[in-house]
Structure 1
Amino acid sequence: MEIDFDEVLDDIHIDEQTVKQKLEGLETEKSPGPDGISARMLKELKSQICRVLVDLYMTSLTEGRLPQDWKTANVSAIYKKGDKTNVGNYRPVSLTCIICKILESIIRCTNFIRNS
Structure 2
Amino acid sequence: IDDIKPIIIKEFSQLIIKPLLQIFNLSFTQGSVLCAMKKAIVTPIFKGGDSTSLGNYRPISVLPVFAKILEKLMYNRVYNYLTE
Shorter-chain TM-score range: 0.7 to 0.9
Aligned length: 83
The question of 1:92 aligning with 2:52 is answered no
Deviating above 6 A after TM superposition, structure 1's stretches of 4 or more consecutive aligned residues are none
Deviations 1:28-56 (A, max 9, x none): xxxxxx63111111111111111111111
Aligned to 1:58: 25
Q: Which residue of 2 aligns with 1:19?
A: none
Matched with 1:20 is none
Secondary structure, in 3 states, of the residue corresponding to 2:4? coil
Higher percent of residues as helix: 2
| Residue 64 (structure 1) shift | 2.2
Q: Report matched runs for 1:1-116 at 5 Å.
A: 35-116=2-83
Aligned-residue offset at 1:65: 2.1
Identity over aligned residues, as a percent? 33
Question: What is the CA deviation profile of residues 75-102 of structure 1, one whole-angstrom value per residue up to 9, with x for unaligned ones?
Answer: 1101122211121211101111110111
Please provide the CA RMSD for this pair.
1.5
* TM-score, length-scaled by structure 1: 0.64
